Amino acid sequence: MTRSLLGGAAALAAVLAAAPIGRAQQGWNFTGLTPAEFKAMPPGGPAPRRDISGMWDGGPAGVGATGQQAERAAARAPFTPLGEQMARENRPGNGPRRVAVAEINDPLSTLGDPAGFPRLVTFELRGVQIVQTPAQVLMLYLFEKRWRAIWTDGRSLPANPEPRWYGYSVGRWEDDYTLVVETVGLDDRTWIDNDGDPHSTDLRVTERYRRVDQTTLELTVTIDDPKIYTKPWLVRNRMPLRLLPPGADWMEMIPSASEAQAYQRAVVSQLKGK
């Protein structure tokens, strides 16, 4: 245990020395690790058992807008006929079906709708603070300043859930270092990702959080929606997150409806001209 703590402390100290991460530890409005800082993060010590708590930074892959577009497109399962139909109605700003700015109908950026789940972990996953209680794992996200409760008290998922923006989630420890989370009951107004991939209310999402070492957490997310996709597919595949010093105070990043309207009036309306 002591060795684990020392290993983790040494890794963090090395990062603090190598990068201007003091701004995370001491300041306000931390914007996240830069790609160079993220890459420079050394391996941590041994992972603690059944513990993924802490402040985690998803780094450049977490942002998920322009990065990894090709990987996402390659991983995506083929659409069913209904999936094709729903995908045609979504006009995203990114991905293989992206349209001009004036044509985008993304409910998040144009209306200020919630990102919803699983988009909250496929787009703008810059930072997430994970808190564990005896009955729940709480995910506190930088983006939207949103939170999710993952029940770990042994309950089952609801049989006929009323759809919610962020669904219903239960988690279990698959082994001492892997938490598996299942989520159902998802509102089909939301997109799976920034590429406008649709889903139905039958969507089932599986997240696997694997604590690789003291300072690294890996996230894999499986999309299973037989109405829309011909087979399950991975929208995140072992995406690493890095542990931040506990004093990190993140900036707010809240896509409000009034700000979305202001952007539409000022910028998008002019792009629609001519």
Partner 1 sequence: MRHRQMVGGVVLALVLAPGVPMSGHHGADTFATGTQITLKGTVTEWIWANPHCFLRFDAKDDTGTVRNWVAETQNPVSMTARGLSRSMVKAGDPVTVTIEPAKNGEPVARLLTVTLPDGRTLVAANPQPAAPAPSPQ
Kindly state the helix (H) or strand (E) to which residue 224 belongs, with its residue range: strand 216-224
Provide the token pair at 66.
Answer: 């322009």
Report the alpha-carbon distance of residue 241 to residue 62 in Å, rounded. 8
**Options 44, 45, 54, 59; binder of partner 1; rule CB under 8 A:** 59
Report the alpha-carbon distance of residue 222 to residue 237 in Å, rounded. 8
**Options 101, 174, 230, 232; binder of partner 1; rule CB under 8 A:** 101
Q: Pick the closer one to partner 1 by CB: 35 or 247.
A: 35
Provide the CA 66 distance to its chain's centre, in angstroms.
15
Site for partner 1 in 230-259 (CB under 8 A): 251, 253-256, 259
Task: Name the one range near partner 1 by CB under 8 A: 3-11, 70-78, 87-95, 162-170.
Answer: 87-95
Q: How far is the CB of 129 from partner 1 (least distance, A)?
A: 16
Beta bridge partners of 217: 211, 241
Site for partner 1 in 142-171 (CB under 8 A): 142
Q: Contact 87/73 with Cβ under 8 angstroms?
A: no
Site for partner 1 in 123-142 (CB under 8 A): 123-124, 126, 142
Task: Name the one range near partner 1 by CB under 8 A: 74-82, 104-112, 130-138, 233-241.
Answer: 104-112
Q: Pick the closer one to partner 1 by CB: 13 or 262.
A: 262
Decide: is 66 part of the binding site for partner 1 (CB under 8 A): yes
Report the alpha-carbon distance of residue 226 to residue 163 in Å, rounded. 17
Length reported for the chain: 274
**Options 90, 152, 183, 194; binder of partner 1; rule CB under 8 A:** 194
Task: Name the one range near partner 1 by CB under 8 A: 30-38, 177-185, 206-214, 219-227.
Answer: 30-38
User: 126 Cβ partners below 8 Å, 6+ apart?
Assistant: 32, 57, 58, 62, 63, 142, 143, 250, 253
Residue found under tokens 């859930």: 161
Decide: is 94 part of the binding site for partner 1 (CB under 8 A): yes
Decide: is 56 part of the binding site for partner 1 (CB under 8 A): no
Report the alpha-carbon distance of residue 115 to residue 134 in Å, rounded. 28
Diameter of the chain measured on Cα atoms: 67
Report the alpha-carbon distance of residue 97 to residue 118 in Å, rounded. 19
Q: How far is the CB of 97 from partner 1 (least distance, A)?
A: 9
Q: In the complex, which residues of this chain contact partner 1 (CB under 8 A)?
A: 29, 31-32, 34-36, 59-60, 62-67, 92-94, 98-104, 106, 108-109, 123-124, 126, 142, 194, 251, 253-256, 259-260, 262-263, 266-267, 270-271, 273-274
